[in-house]
Amino acid sequence: MLLVVDVGNTNITLGLFDGDELMGKYRITTKTPRTSDEYGVVIKGILGANAANVQGVIISSVVPNVMYSLNNAFRKYFGTTPYIVKPGTKTGIKLAVPNPREIGADRIVDAVAGFVEYGGPVIVIDFGTATTYDLITEDGTFVAGITAPGIKMSAKALREDTARLPEIEIKKPASILAKETISSMQAGLVYGYIGQTEYIIDKIKEESGLVNIKVVATGGTGRIICDETKKIDIYDKDLTLKGLKEIYHRQNS
């Protein structure tokens, strides 16, 4: 079995593959400091009996300060050295940008998955802590990327940087014509984010000239937005995990 690990700013997402089949998906928080022993015990506990069947591990991370403990956890508790997605990794995607090393591992993984799973040209959107929009051409070239604050980040800023606004559930209210504080905040966040998403998609299509391009989305809050717009063709909650699996197999082919 292959264990794929996506280390994001908020969560560490684990995916356990048996061949091409995703057998299980699990999350632990990123922000809790852990030793290698704690990571090892937690991950083995989550995987249960399947932990003994893990033969390979691949990690994509945007949080450098957890990597030492996480790497050692897999070496000590799983007897394997994880493959880390980094500059120079064989992905099948060309990076046509001035400094390829600036492209985050998570974006490269999503680009690989979007292109392999759905073909190019494709816009891949990841609704995470930040929201990223990446353009991959028909021949698998990463040519542009846009980064925006995630909807949860926006909600947090609204709450923390104002004196009297409360914490709210992120959901679309029944109407944009809000009449009280909570639905007012929900309307601004969700309808505003739908508008942002649609505008950025339209501008990518306009400036690239790729009008009939497929749009694929993933990420924790992506479903909220995808259900409210026709600009997104596909929502794939497991896109990043599929990309990690594809990259791992490319290293061993």
Active site residues: 106
The pTM assigned to this predicted structure is 0.91
Amino acid at site 209? G
**CATH topology identical between 2-84 and 94-244:** yes
If one looks up domain 94-244 in CATH, what number appears?
3.30.420.40
- DSSP secondary structure code for residue 80 in this structure: -
CA distance 113 to 169: 30
pLDDT value, residue 133: 97
Strands 2-7 and 11-18 come out as antiparallel
**Strand order through the sheet with 21-29:** 21-29, 11-18, 2-7, 56-61, 83-84
Task: Sketch the domain layout of the chain as residue ranges.
Answer: 2-84, 94-244
User: Which residues have CB under 8 Å from 19's CB, separation 6+?
Assistant: none
Per-residue pLDDT of the chain (253 residues; tens, 9 = 90+): 999 999 998 899 999 999 999 999 999 998 778 999 999 999 999 999 999 999 999 999 999 999 999 999 999 999 999 999 987 889 999 999 898 888 889 999 999 999 999 999 999 999 988 999 999 999 999 999 999 999 988 888 888 877 777 788 888 898 999 989 899 999 999 999 999 999 999 999 999 999 889 999 999 888 889 999 999 999 999 999 999 999 999 987 6
pLDDT value, residue 253: 67
Q: What are phi and psi of 142, to 5 degrees?
A: -80, 110
Helices (H), the chain: 36-47, 67-78, 105-118, 151-160, 181-208, 222-226, 239-251
Instruction: Kindly report whether the peptide bond that precedes residue 33 is cis, defined as omega within 30 degrees of 0.
Output: no
Cβ atoms < 10 Å from Cβ of 89: 19
Residue reference for tokens 């749009």:
215
Asked whether 12 and 29 are in contact (CB, 8 A), the reply is yes
User: Which residues have CB under 8 Å from 212's CB, separation 6+?
Assistant: none
pLDDT value, residue 79: 94
CA distance 250 to 194: 36
Give the architecture-level CATH label for domain 2-84: 2-Layer Sandwich (3.30)
CA distance 91 to 84: 12
Q: Which of helix, strand or coil describes residue 75?
A: helix
228 burial via Cβ count (<10 Å: 0-12, 13-18, 19+): middle
CA distance 115 to 125: 12
